[in-house]
Structure formats: C-alpha cells, structure tokens
Chain A
Amino acid sequence: MKLSRLVEILEGTVLTGENHLDTEVKTAFSADLMSDVLAFAKPKSLILTGLTNPQVVRTASILDSAAIVIVRGKKPPSETVALAKELNIPIISTKYILFETSGRLYVNGMVGCVKKIGDS
C-alpha cells in the first residue's frame, strides 16, 4: 500500500513527509509502548501509536521505519515534527483510534510485521 492510499483510508493529515507519499508499505506495528516497538517492529514497517514525543521519531529512525501514524487525533509537539522532517520520517495523523486505524489498514491488505511473538 502506498502512503498516499493510507492517508485516504485513514482520512489522515500529512504533518511531514509529503515527498514520501509514493513509498510502498506492507507491514505495521501498533503500540503505545516504545519498548515493544524497539523489541518487535521490523524495518520498513509503519509504527501506529498514540505517543507524540520526539523519542517516537528517534525510535522510528533507529528501526528504519517507513512512517509514523499518530492515532486518536493527537497533535504532536512542534519539536517532534521538526525532528521527523530532519530525519526524513513521514508523520501522518488520524482521528481514528488505534484499533480502528489498524483494522482499516488490515482490511486493505496491510499486515502485522510479526503475527505472533515467537515467530521470526
């Protein structure tokens, strides 16, 4: 799925990374725990989260994530958006809750970057 399609599905707003909307993303990881994102998310995946601090962006950059989707209509502070711009990580915000966001993407073909813990 292209990020541009994701923005349509989530009725999202692109906060930074308009030039990355052609990026193809196949997998995602949803969590409000960055500890778990760091432990389980795979490279080139989306991170769906309700957290908005700059550490989310640093986590995404360390993991080579494709983009961050901020759920529940949360507005990230300007330093988060500025850092994402600097590190070239797109941020898309959506008003859907985490469950809805994940579900909408799943029915459109996106899958989890791991299915079950223990699978590689």
Chain B
Amino acid sequence: MGSTIDYEDSFPIEGGNFDEAGVVSLRVKSILKELGFPGDIQRRAAIATYESELNIISYAQSGHVRLRIGPHQIRIDAEDKGPGIEDIELAMKDGYSTANDRIRELGFGAGMGLSNIKRCSDTFEITSERDKGAHLKMLIDTQ
C-alpha cells in the first residue's frame, strides 16, 4: 500500500458474540459506498470482512478489523487474540472446518470462509501464532 492513506478506521469484535455477526462488515460496506466505490468493490470488501468477522466471533476471544483506504487499494486487516490457525494450508481447503454448533446453527462454519476471502481479495495473507492469534491481511485493488 502506498504511503498515503485517505481513510482509516478500526472496529473491535468480541469473540462469541454471534448476534452481532455482520455488523462491522455492513459498516465497512456503507463507508465504501459513501466514498463512492463501485458495487463490486464494496461487495468484495464486505464479503472478505464478513468472513473475517465470523472467524473472530467463532474462534477468538477478541479481535478487530482495521480498514485503510489508499489511492490505489483498500486494505483490511483482521487480527485476533485466540488459538490461532494450526494448519493454514488445511484451513484454506474448502469444507475444512473446526466450527462449533452455535456458528453452524446460524448457517456458517462450513469451511468456505478463507477460500472465499481469497477469491474476493487481490492479495490475501495469513499469519498465525499458536495460542496467540491470527492475522488476516486482505488487499483489494481499486485501480
């Protein structure tokens, strides 16, 4: 991402708070809409944020999503304090999931999230440290 940032905001997410799942993503989407980004960009950023948000709520104690908008890119970072992702390669496989019943009741936890984030972003990086947490970095090119 270039040196200039036109917009920056950070949204806390509470682990286990399933009722609020999607609230941050809708905020991100409405910010991008207000800033005049096309529908496709809004949607991709919102889907990537939603999947990240669901991951934090499902698996971590707490976390946040940081949105940074530069002249050529949207950058979304989802960082959490939690168990981390033990095997990133395995977690990226469609259908692989360690979700509990609560998240499955809501219709999530099918093991599609990380590959869906990859599909929606132009660059996607995961770093994770066992028993500390995970960091998802997503970039969407806007030009």
Contacts and interface: CB of A to CB of B under 8 A. Distances in A.
* Majority SS at the chain A contact face: helix
Contacts of A59: 22, 50
A39 B116 contact: yes
A53 B111 CA distance: 20
A58 B108 CA distance: 13
A56 interface: yes
Given A43-B43, A64-B39, A58 B25 contact: yes
A35 B39 contact: no
Interface string B125-138: 00000000000000
A38 B50 contact: yes
A36 B115 CA distance: 11
B84 to A, nearest CB: 21
B35 interface: no
A61 B21 CA distance: 13
Interface residues of A, number: 22
B23 A36 contact: no
A99 to B, nearest CB: 18
A25 B142 CA distance: 28
Contacts of B26: 58, 61-62, 87
Nearest to B49: A62
11 contacts: A33-B107, A34-B106, A35-B113, A43-B39, A55-B106, A58-B22, A58-B26, A61-B22, A62-B22, A62-B25, A62-B26
Interface of B: 18-19, 21-23, 25-26, 29, 39, 43, 46-47, 50-51, 106-113, 115-116, 119
A-B pairs, 7 with minimum CB distance: A58-B22, A34-B107, A35-B110, A62-B46, A35-B112, A39-B112, A39-B116
